[in-house]
Amino acid sequence: MGNSQTTPGIVAGRLPADRIQENFDDLHPAYAPHEAAVAADRCYFCHDAPCMTACPTSIDIPLFIRQIATGTPEAAARTILNQNILGGMCARVCPTETLCEEVCVREVAEGKPVEIGRLQRYATDTLMDAGKHPFTRAAPTGKSVAVVGAGPAGLSCAHRLAMLGHDVVIYEARPKAGGLNEFGIAAYKAPNGFATAEVEWLLQIGGITIQEGQALGDQITLSGLKESHDAVFLSIGLSGVNALRAEGEDREGVEDAVSFIAELRQTSDLTTLPVGRNVVVIGGGMTAVDAAVQSKLLGAENVTIAYRRGQEAMGASRYEQDLAAQNGVRLMFNVQPVAVHGNGRAVEIELEYTTDTGSGLTGTGETFRLPADQVFKAIGQTLGDTPEGITLEGRKIAVNDTGRTSLDGVWAGGDCASGGDDLTVTAVAEGRDAAMDIHATLVG
């Protein structure tokens, strides 16, 4: 092919196949049994454990670690999956450094937490590798629930409802289920088709049908679903993208980071995926880091994250920032884009320094330019079209604690709903809790 890291423009094959393969390998390799035993031995089996409180799905972490320590990782997996049916994915993608592991008493005391995420993966992998699905369905209730969107929130809700004996139909706009597990999570966090395998494993419970290519507001309507089902759960995530509001935003080479990642996740041979020589990512969250790191791993020569506020305000955790830095990504703070320059296609980006006046962020007037043949927008996703008749809170669907929306018989959860962080684990918790409330409503 002859391309290298310094080939100008946006081209594929900047790195040889074996390097790409290595780059996109598991970020945290799986534990061998002995490693798991040693890691589990560090857990103090704390009373009313802080880790358990920090987990949005409230997994009984001390118990599952003790189950690993006593040689029954399958029982550990059951403890995990009881609370969080996507415990396998969460073990890989949860920012544990800001959740369970952040409050581990050994992190607080020694700066070295029990590696809860990796232990969770060890347990769930053991069970899933054996092809076992540990749950069975209750007697049929004769009720039918529509779930819109097959991301973590929808899958979690559907599984719980199926377990409780209801029939579930998931309507998914895309041709493939999984939501951002399949199309968004960084490739090195869940390699080897784990997202797809996990969905197949989850569906073994039975009673769940997925209808792909069915978009709410397109092929299907909310009123239609309400008529044909006893309840509806909306878990449509955030499909809209914020605008950059910088001059030249429409130039070729300016792309949405989430779309780039989705394409990356669905490309089987990454040597065929084009990436810029000079990549600038605008934003400060997990998506920004993922787009930047993966660009670098594909062979981009220079990758910069440009974030408009200070480091402490960054949405990406310190761990994620370090990951970016380790991979050679440059992090710039207090800069905002003002223009993308070029002749039809992007060549440079012009950034302006910012300052926080106390009443808001303003540009200082001082600007500079960076070479940029590819600019990724990672400045937040928004709800797509608001489903008919639904009340919003801020820019999300308004829900109460158990996911009830303003419409009778309609629940919502995950990224599209108000409350909670936009995380896989939060989506799972909200899906599960809504399912319990739907169940109580339908059979109560």
Contacts with other proteins by CB under 8 A lie at: 33-34, 41-42, 45, 47, 62-63, 66-67, 70-72, 74-75, 78-79
The site for ligand FAD, by CB under 6 A, has a size of 40
415 near ligand FAD, judged by CB under 6 A: yes
Q: Within 353-392, which residues bind ligand FAD (CB under 6 A)?
A: 384
Query: Rounded to an integer, what distance in angstroms lies between the CA atom of residue 226 and that of residue 231?
Result: 6
List the one residue from 217, 328, 363, 371 that touches ligand FAD (CB under 6 A): 217
Nearer to other proteins among residue 74 and residue 421 (C-beta): 74
Q: Which does 45 bind (CB under 5 to 8 A by kind): other proteins, ligand FAD, none?
A: other proteins
Query: What residues have CB less than 8 Å from 294, skipping those under 6 apart?
Result: 186, 187, 188, 261, 264
Burial class, 254, CB count within 10 angstroms (exposed 0-12 / middle 13-18 / buried 19+): buried
CB of 66 to other proteins, least distance (A): 5
CB of 247 to other proteins, least distance (A): 60
Nearer to other proteins among residue 129 and residue 200 (C-beta): 129
CB of 195 to ligand FAD, least distance (A): 10
Residue type, 322: D
List the one residue from 164, 264, 425, 434 that touches ligand FAD (CB under 6 A): 425
Nearer to other proteins among residue 43 and residue 155 (C-beta): 43
Query: Rounded to an integer, what distance in angstroms lies between the CA atom of residue 9 and that of residue 276?
Result: 6
Of the chain, the end-to-end C-alpha distance in Å amounts to 65
Helical H segments across 24-166, by residue range: 33-41, 50-54, 61-69, 73-83, 87-93, 100-103, 105-110, 116-129, 152-163
What does each C-alpha distance from 283 to 12, 219, 226, 299, 302 come to in angstroms?
Answer: 24, 34, 38, 21, 17
Q: Which does 42 bind (CB under 5 to 8 A by kind): ligand FAD, other proteins, none?
A: other proteins
Dihedral angle over CA of 315, 319, 320, 322, nearest 10: 120
CB of 432 to other proteins, least distance (A): 21
Q: Which does 41 bind (CB under 5 to 8 A by kind): other proteins, ligand FAD, none?
A: other proteins
Are 352 and 365 within 8 A, CB to CB? Answer: yes
Residue type, 157: C
Question: What would the two tokens of residue 159 be?
Answer: 């599984």
Where along the sequence are the contacts to ligand FAD (CB under 6 A)?
A: 93-95, 148-154, 171-174, 179-180, 184-185, 189, 215-217, 235-237, 239, 258, 261, 286-287, 290, 384, 414-416, 422-425, 427
